[in-house]
Amino acid sequence: MLPDDEYRIKSNFVYLIENLSPVEPLLDSLTQMYVINEDDLEKIRKAESSGTKAMIRRFLDILLTCGIHAYPKFIQCLNESGKGTVAEQLASDIDMDGRREEKQLQEDDKYLQLQEKLQQIKQEKQERENALQQVNQEKENALHKSTKENQRIKTTLNKLKEERDTTNEDLQMTKVRESILRDELERINEQNDRTNEEIDDDDNRQGKPG
């Protein structure tokens, strides 16, 4: 028996035990359609000694082993033996299975949509993180460049300061040398003046009569 058909019988096992009595007309129809054989009938009737429900239970156990065509023939025999209500109950399980399958498909579709949404959120988050990382890298590069430029300017200013200090020192030395030279010039002028005076004095003495 197909797994779905086996599931429908097993999921309605108690219901079937309660609603298949009397089961003999159904057994006759299934025997006529070669679903069950004489050996099966013997096993089923032997279980009758334990009660009708035990007999039906034994019948259902055997039915589950009767091949893939047993279930549709079982439904046909239910309808033909006046147990259409039981067939409808099993058919309602088919509809229920269909609804369950449809609901499962809807849930699967929702799950896939949620997965896609989650993947989209993760991708957007990764893109934002990448963009933020790029901005931070650009800021870091700009800061590094600015620091390097500041260092260059500071170095240039220090060099200019050193040059200025050197120039001031040279200027100071020049002033000192100028002062020394001026003093020396005054000393020479004074010496020249004295020499001239001495010469004039000598001339004057030489010009007087003895």
Q: How far apart are the first and last CA of the chain?
A: 177
d(CA 4, CA 176): 119
Kindly indicate the confidence band of residue 64, based on its pLDDT and cuts at 50, 70 and 90. Answer: very high
Which pLDDT value is given to residue 95?
A: 53
Q: Which fold has domain 3-82?
A: Death Domain, Fas (1.10.533)
Q: Which of 31, 32, 33 is nearest to 43 (CA)?
A: 31
pLDDT at position 101 is 56
Higher pLDDT, 63 or 199: 63
pTM over cut 0.75: no
> One-letter amino acid identity for 53?
K
**Which pLDDT score, from 0 to 100, does residue 6 have?**
92
For the segment 188-210, the average pLDDT, to the nearest whole number, is: 76
- CB of 41 within 8 A of CB of 27? yes
Share of the chain above pLDDT 70, in %: 91
SS3 130: helix
Contact between residue 59 and residue 27 where contact means Cβ atoms under 8 Å apart: yes
The three-state (H, E, C) secondary structure of 26-83, written as one string: HHHHHHHCCCCCHHHHHHHHHHHHHCHHHHHHHHHHHHCCCCCCHHHHHHHHHHHCCC
Domain range summary for the chain, segments of one domain joined by +: 3-82
Distances (CA, A) of 62 to 2, 4, 6, 101, 206: 14, 17, 12, 29, 177
* pLDDT grade for 53, boundaries at 50, 70 and 90: very high
- 205/203 Cα distance (integer angstroms): 5
pLDDT at position 93 over 80: no
Average pLDDT, whole number, for the chain?
85
CB 29: neighbour CB atoms within 10 A? 19
